[in-house]
């Protein structure tokens, strides 16, 4: 099935091909160690890798890890990722070296059908992020087909997301296809009512998403740090030290939105932003000057749960509070569990923090789709064109046949 009008790896003949695959192995590492703390992004790429191996492909994977700034950083080498991938696949994943130079080509030529290699961190080469044509050409020489399965960087116009596609037939991997299909299902002819749940620190971070969704969904639930700006826009709290742009953005959205925008009626506040700060639950009209809103309150969480239970399509981006701290995690937990309990809806969770919260609560399997791309899913929800997706072959393009 074409993903958002793009060809996928299932739409072309890859039998016995040399295939270059862009994956997103930008996994979190435990502080001060080379131990992967969450391998979900590696696991998410397994279906595409297995699909190619089953067809006798010689597979060269490429990814970035962290932000080394174009320099070699020993703490950002992909060796731990390669070791974990080897365990998951049950084979030795070969060190492809590079990412540039002559060694990667020698490695690719030495691979047997069904074998897999992984290049060194792409961002060790400064030409990756500048989409340098020469670097893209070097990478493209490794394959006969390019499969982009890295939705998490689809919003970046880099050599490994856009440049390679100028030299090779470029299609979406199975993960990329799933990401695009699920996001499209929420915005293009979705089952109604459609509910968007949007959290985040500042309105300015999410205003583009809110404006785009306000004309496409039926209801928007507001949570996270941006709650204060919306309450100020309504007149419940004094704007105080809030950025005037955030308050004005909230006010303008409330004035023009075609969707119902529901804001909290009660919140959990604290005098300081600290894990051990004393929490206070209060109605929005009684928020004291200088208090920080760190979660939605129980009354609001109940209202939100009711809206969630009635929805047929749900988009969630941004926690309801500082969920990492137990005193301010209840709102996020109620929302996540309410989504998981709605068996008659399509639910899509996007954003790194939101996905982390769902994972911490053990609810991943009860959500229709948890996106691997924080920034990319955000840009998609803003209605922006993703360069890494635009570069792929269109579903009706016959140039690869």
Strand, coil or helix: what is 20? strand
CB 345 within 8 A of CB 376: no
- Choose, from 77, 97, 137, 202, the residue flagged as catalytic: 202
318 has catalytic annotation: no
The rounded distance, in Å, linking the Cα atoms of 358 and 367 is: 9
Strand, coil or helix: what is 157? coil
Give the helix/strand (H/E) hosting 110.
Answer: helix 103-110
Render 204-264 in DSSP notation, one character per residue: HHHHHHHHHHHTT-SEEEE-GGGHHHHHHHHTSS--TTS-HHHHHHHHHHHHH-SSEEE--
**C-alpha 286: how far from its chain's center?**
36
- Choose, from 7, 18, 22, 41, the residue flagged as catalytic: 41
The rounded distance, in Å, linking the Cα atoms of 340 and 316 is: 12
352 has catalytic annotation: yes
202 has catalytic annotation: yes
- Choose, from 56, 114, 302, 352, the residue flagged as catalytic: 352
CB 284 within 8 A of CB 236: yes
375 has catalytic annotation: yes
Look up residue 364 and give its DSSP letter.
G
Give the up-direction half-sphere exposure of residue 40: CA atoms within 13 A in the CB hemisphere: 15
Give the helix/strand (H/E) hosting 19.
Answer: strand 18-22
All residues at 6 or more sequence positions from 18 whose CB lies less than 8 Å from its CB, including other chains: 57, 58, 60, 108, 142, 143, 144, 145
The rounded distance, in Å, linking the Cα atoms of 328 and 129 is: 38
The rounded distance, in Å, linking the Cα atoms of 363 and 237 is: 35
The rounded distance, in Å, linking the Cα atoms of 223 and 318 is: 8
Sheet of 292-296, strand order: 280-283, 266-270, 292-296
SS (H, E, C) 270-315: ECCCCCCCCCEEEEHHHCCCCCEEEEECHHHHHHHHHHHHHCCEEE
Q: Which residues are catalytic?
A: 41, 202, 352, 375
């Amino acid at each position: 099935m074409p993903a958002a009008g793009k060809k996928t790896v299932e739409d072309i003949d890859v039998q016995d091909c040399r295939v270059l695959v862009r994956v997103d192995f930008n996994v979190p590492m435990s502080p001060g160690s080379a131990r992967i703390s969450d391998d979900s992004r590696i696991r998410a790429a397994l279906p595409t890798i297995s699909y190619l191996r089953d067809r006798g492909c010689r597979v060269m994977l490429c990814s970035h890890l962290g932000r080394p700034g174009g320099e070699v950083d020993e703490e950002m080498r992909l060796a731990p990722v390669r070791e974990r991938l080897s365990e998951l696949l049950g084979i030795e994943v070969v060190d492809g070296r590079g990412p540039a130079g002559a060694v990667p080509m020698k490695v690719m030529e030495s691979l047997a059908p069904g074998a897999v290699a992984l290049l060194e961190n792409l961002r060790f080469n400064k030409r990756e992020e500048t989409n340098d044509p020469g670097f893209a050409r070097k990478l493209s020489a490794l394959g006969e087909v390019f499969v982009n399965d890295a939705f998490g960087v689809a919003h970046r116009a880099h050599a490994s997301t856009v440049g390679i596609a100028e030299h090779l037939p470029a299609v979406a991997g199975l993960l990329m296809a799933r990401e695009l299909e699920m996001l499209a299902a929420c915005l293009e002819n979705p089952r109604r009512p459609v509910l968007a749940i949007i959290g985040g620190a500042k309105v300015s971070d999410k205003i583009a998403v809110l404006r785009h969704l306000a004309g496409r969904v039926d209801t928007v639930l507001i949570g996270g740090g941006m709650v204060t700006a919306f309450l100020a826009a309504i007149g419940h709290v004094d704007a105080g030290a809030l950025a005037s742009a955030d308050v004005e953005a909230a006010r303008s959205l409330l004035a023009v939105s075609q969707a119902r925008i529901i804001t909290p009626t009660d919140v959990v506040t604290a005098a300081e932003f600290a894990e051990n700060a004393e929490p206070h639950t209060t109605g929005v009209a009684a928020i004291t000057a200088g208090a920080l809103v760190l979660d939605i309150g129980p009354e609001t969480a109940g209202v939100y749960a009711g809206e969630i239970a009635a929805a047929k399509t749900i988009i969630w981006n941004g926690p309801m509070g500082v969920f990492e701290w137990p005193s301010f995690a209840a709102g996020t937990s109620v929302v996540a569990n309410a989504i998981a309990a709605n068996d008659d809806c399509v639910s899509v969770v996007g954003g790194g923090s939101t996905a982390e919260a769902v994972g911490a609560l053990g609810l991943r399997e009860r959500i229709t789709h948890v996106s691997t791309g924080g920034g990319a899913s955000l840009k998609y929800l803003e209605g922006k064109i993703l360069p890494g997706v635009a570069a792929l072959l269109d579903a009706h393009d016959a140039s690869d046949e």
